[in-house]
Structure 1
Amino acid sequence: MNSKPAILYVDDEEANLLLFRVSFEGEREVLVANSPEEGLQKLAENRGRIRAVISDMHMPVMNGVEFIEKAQETINDIPYYILSGYAFNTEIDQALKQKTIQKFFTKPFDRDEIETHLKNPNSI
């Protein structure tokens, strides 16, 4: 059993999953899923271990905010974040205002910025 805190990263592009895993493994366990459906499955299977979820915004079938709304039906007491190469939009703005997500990060991501929020989800 891994004693490091686990985070889940959901993105439909394999290269992004690899880059994220390589960037964050070490201090924490990084679980990855290449679709929202797989993300929901990993969340359910690792319910007690996952401390935060980061999701891409633009994916087939459902977008990141839709995935997070579904994920929060399973676990609603951890922080959720969007990481996207696309511009900030009204759906993301609404998700922030409704506290569905804690923060919106842009690609290419700043590892230190994300790490700061993972360590202290309430930081601005």
Structure 2
Amino acid sequence: MSEKPAILYIDDEEANLLLFRISFEGKREVLVANSPEEGLKKLEENKDRILAVISDMHMPKMNGVQFIEKAQETVSNIPYFILSGYAFNDEIDQALQENTIQKFFTKPFDRAEIEKHLSGAA
């Protein structure tokens, strides 16, 4: 297992996972999960080296905010972000106001914008 710092990205679409990994891997490892359940498992297994978590908003069984609230029970001292192709909504607004998430990013994502926020987590 790599000991590089890592970020975790959760999305139920395989193409998005691949694009994200290709875009951000390099000085850090990009761990990906295609479901909230897999994301929670990877977070638990790698909690000592994950610097940030980014989640899609719309997924089966659990949305991104619900996933993040559950993930924060395991690791609460790292930044969490939502990345979505859907519009900003009241649930995301509330999550920002309550500091459940630090930022909302839209798809297609702006690599430089996300990188700026990830660099602050390192």
TM-score (structure 2 length as normaliser): 0.97
Q: Which residue of structure 2 lines up, in the alignment, with residue 37 of structure 1?
A: 37
- Answer yes or no: is 1:101 the counterpart of 2:98: no
Secondary structure, in 3 states, of the residue corresponding to 1:30? strand
Aligned to 1:16: 16
**3-state SS, counterpart of residue 9 of structure 2:** strand
Query: What amino acid is the match of 2:93?
Result: D
Match of 1:27 in 2: 27
Task: Give, in angstroms, the shift of residue 3 of structure 1.
Answer: 3.8
Unpaired segments of 5 or more residues in structure 1?
A: none
Match of residue 117 from structure 2:
117
What code does the residue aligned with 1:37 have?
E
For 1:45 and 1:31, locate their aligned partners in 2 and report how far apart those are by CA, in whole Å. 11
Q: Which residue matches 2:60? A: 60
Per the TM alignment, residue 28 of structure 1 is displaced from its structure 2 partner at its CA by: 1.0
| TM-score (norm. length: structure 1) | 0.95
Uncovered stretches (5+) of structure 2, i.e. residues with no partner: none
1:54-94 per-position Cα deviation (integer Å, ceiling 9, x unaligned): 00000000000000000000000000000000000000000
Question: Partner of 2:105: helix, strand, or coil?
Answer: strand
Work out the CA distance in 2 between the residues paired with 1:27 and 1:107.
23
Give 1:4's aligned residue.
4
* CA RMSD, 1 decimal: 0.8
